[in-house]
Amino acid sequence: MGTLDNISTIQQLELGPLEEGGWLQSKRVFIRVDFNVPLDKKTGEITDDSRIRAALPTIQFAVEAGAKVILASHLGRPKGKPDDKYSLEPVGGRLAELTGYDIHFPEDCIGDAPKKVIHDLRIAASGSHGAPQVVLLENLRFHEGEEKNDEAFVKALGDLCDVYVDDAFGAMHRAHASVDGLPRSKKDRGAGMLVEKELAALGRLVDAPEKPFVAVLGGAKVSDKIAVIEALLGRCSAICIGGAMANTFLAAQGRNMQKSLVEDDKLALARTLLNKADDAGVDLLLPSDVVVGDSLSATSGKTVHVSAVPEGHMALDIGPDSVATFTRALQSAKTIFWNGPMGLFESKAFAAGTMSLAEAMSGVDGFTVVGGGDSAAAVHRAGEAIANAFDHISTGGGASLELVEGKKLPGIEALRHKTLSAER
């Protein structure tokens, strides 16, 4: 089954039974968004509003269709009870600044308070004066029922709405109430514009990637990417591995990586993956040189061959020879998937490998996808011109990995209809 098969989009929902102004007019539309934004620990201010901006097209579409728009998200990990430092109130303020809407923020995400606010909403198509009004519910994770996918919590959320739209790709791998249980309870459900874009792009990597297909994988641990590597061995012509996870593969080949992060309990697995790649005819490329420092707080580094890491030092980036090898593999690629930085890119001393590969990938003519998380942050740090050259930068690191791995994501499966012609 294709990634988008039997999933309605919000535009298709709007093309349902027509009333004056469209089918969504006056409907209570619950939009699950991903407003899990980073906050300054001291001031509580939002430090990056890109997730809010990413949801705007779907929100604006629903508002302009005359819907009563209800936005819901989680923020942080408040452990199933209210916690002021995880309140979505700052998000409401930023959303108002970005849209010009009146954002109504009830004290809870379920119960009488949000019901009344939703009932009284002024909608854009009503002909009334003033800015459109939108409801932003308080943090869903203030209730244990969210993460437990509790039936009673699903019903309480369902009582607030007529239509469900998921635009929170970064949460679609979670079988939570607002992602899994709630959409299954609604006959009228679909994907928002961001989710549609994500599934279309990532689906190309899963359903029919154009060859040659090259993956670039980095990050800290092999254990986080085992299933992804195994899945990609059946699709890729080459896999370039950098970051700290490369240390485990290099150690499995007998290299002494000194103080570098190595998962000793995964050495046998790394050797197995290397053998599987060889059997599959896939080039599994590892660094030939690395940039080392004496600690994670080092402010300078030096480039050494992987067989000559000095005692007391650790690999914190891939070296220029490795960049050149990986770049050669990328140049002829028709499809590229990148997930995970090549080193400690947050430090200028160890950012060159990641930034160089970002630039190399941005210049490839093939279809280029960044799998969210730190790699997405690295692309944006490399500059707007480089970021804009990628075909797709995912908003969900964990979700994108699981999708590329071939897993069925609860949030995607919950949106599927047996047929799209199912009666409303």
3-state class (DSSP) for residue 166: strand
Q: What are phi and psi of 136, to 5 degrees?
A: -115, 115
Q: Is 398 a catalytic residue?
A: yes
Q: Is 371 a catalytic residue?
A: no
The CA-based angle 284-290-294, given to 5 degrees, is 140
- Helices 352-362 and 320-331 cross at an angle (nearest 10°) of 20
Strand runs labelled E in 51-204: 68-72, 102-104, 133-136, 163-166, 189-191
Smallest CA-to-CA distance from 233 within 286, 269, 287, 276 is with 276
Q: 210 vs 62, 204, 225, CA distance in Å?
A: 35, 8, 22
The one-letter amino acid at 86: Y
Q: Which of 181, 190, 242, 373 is catalytic?
A: 373
Task: Give the integer Cα–Cα distance in Å for 21 and 383.
Answer: 42
Q: What are phi and psi of 46, to 5 degrees?
A: -70, 130
The one-letter amino acid at 57: P
Structure tokens at 266: 């995964």
Phi-psi group of 281: left, alpha or beta (phi > 0 → left; psi -120 to 50 → alpha; rest → beta)? left
Q: Which of 276, 398, 406, 407 is catalytic?
A: 398
Structure tokens at 214: 């090259």
Q: Tokens 């009284």, residue?
A: 120
Structure tokens at 367: 């279809």
Q: Is 373 a catalytic residue?
A: yes
Q: Which of 51, 186, 189, 266 is catalytic?
A: 51
Smallest CA-to-CA distance from 145 within 160, 156, 158, 136 is with 156
Q: Is 204 a catalytic residue?
A: no
Q: 296 vs 240, 312, 346, CA distance in Å?
A: 23, 12, 11
Task: Give the integer Cα–Cα distance in Å for 116 and 140.
Answer: 18
Smallest CA-to-CA distance from 334 within 402, 237, 241 is with 237
Q: DSSP label at 294? A: S
Instruction: Estimate to the nearest angstrom the gap between the alpha carbon of 354 and the chain centroid.
Output: 19
Active site (catalytic) residues = 51, 221, 373, 398
